[in-house]
Amino acid sequence: MNSGSSHLYGALREARARTLELIQDLKGEQMMGPRLPIINPLLWEVGHVAFFQEFWVLRHSRGRSSLLRNGDTLYDSARVAHGARWDLPLPAINDTLDYMQRVLADVTGGAEPAEALCTKTGRYAETYFLWLALLHEYMHAEAITYTRQTLGYSAPRISLQHARGPREAPSENGDNKASADLGVARAGDVAVPGGRFYLGAATDDGFVFDNEQWAHPVEVKPFSIGRTVVTNAEFAVFVADRGYARREFWSDAGWQWREQARAAHPVYWQGVSNGKWLRRHFDQVVPLEDHHPVIHVNWFEAEAYCRWAGRRLPTEAEWEMAASSEPGTGAGSTTTRKRRFPWGDELPTPDRANLDWRSMGCIHVEALPAGDSAFGCRQMIGNVWEWTEDDFNPFPGFSPGPYKEYSAPWFGNHKVLRGGCWVTRSRLIRNTYRNFYQPDRRDVWAGFRTCAP
What is the DSSP annotation of 364-417? -TT--GGG--TT----SSSSSEEEEEEE--PPTT----SSTTTTGGGTTSSEEE
pLDDT over 50 (residue 149): yes
What's the CA gap between 453 and 311, in Å, rounded?
5
Whether residue 174 contacts residue 231, with contact meaning beta carbons closer than 8 Å, is answered with no
> Which pLDDT score is estimated for 178?
36
CA dihedral 275, 313, 398, 424 (to 10 degrees): -30
pLDDT over 70 (residue 173): no
Average pLDDT, the chain: 92
Location of each CATH 1.20.120.450 domain in the chain: 8-150
> Which pLDDT score is estimated for 180?
34
DSSP 242-281: TTTT-GGGS-HHHHHHHHHHT-SS-TTEEEEETTEEEEEE
pLDDT tens digits for range 10-67: 999 999 999 999 999 999 999 999 999 999 999 999 999 999 999 999 999 999 999 9
Preceding peptide of 214 cis, ω within 30°: yes
Average pLDDT over residues 224-249: 98
What's the CA gap between 217 and 335, in Å, rounded?
13
Average pLDDT over residues 314-327: 96
Among 297, 283, 8, residue whose Cα is nearest residue 129:
8
Residues 6 or more apart whose Cβ sits within 8 Å of residue 4: 115, 206
Average pLDDT over residues 134-139: 98
Whether residue 266 contacts residue 296, with contact meaning beta carbons closer than 8 Å, is answered with yes
Helix (H) or strand (E) holding 217: strand 216-220
> Which pLDDT score is estimated for 273?
85
Cα distances from 353 to residues 13, 170, 173, 196, 424, in angstroms, run 23, 15, 22, 28, 10
Residues 6 or more apart whose Cβ sits within 8 Å of residue 414: 391, 392, 436, 437, 438, 439
Nearest-10 crossing angle of helices 126-150, 8-23:
20
CATH number assigned to the domain covering 8-150? 1.20.120.450
What's the CA gap between 373 and 369, in Å, rounded?
9
Q: How confident is the model at residue 3 (pLDDT cuts 50, 70, 90)?
A: very low
Q: How confident is the model at residue 389 (pLDDT cuts 50, 70, 90)?
A: very high
Whether residue 118 contacts residue 34, with contact meaning beta carbons closer than 8 Å, is answered with no
> Which pLDDT score is estimated for 272?
87
> Which pLDDT score is estimated for 337?
78
> Which pLDDT score is estimated for 183?
42
> Which pLDDT score is estimated for 182?
47
At residue 82, the 3 state secondary structure works out as helix
Among 262, 319, 269, 311, residue whose Cα is nearest residue 294:
269
What's the CA gap between 285 and 269, in Å, rounded?
9
Q: How confident is the model at residue 336 (pLDDT cuts 50, 70, 90)?
A: low
- Three-point CA angle 188, 189, 195, nearest 5°: 170
For the chain, what percent of residues have pLDDT higher than 70?
Answer: 91
Residues 6 or more apart whose Cβ sits within 8 Å of residue 358: 160, 162, 164, 168, 350, 422
Backbone angles phi, psi at 154, to 5 degrees: -65, 160
What's the CA gap between 316 and 431, in Å, rounded?
11
At residue 172, the 3 state secondary structure works out as coil
Average pLDDT over residues 350-377: 97
pLDDT tens digits for range 81-129: 999 999 999 999 999 999 999 999 999 998 898 889 998 788 999 999 9
CATH number assigned to the domain covering 167-453? 3.90.1580.10
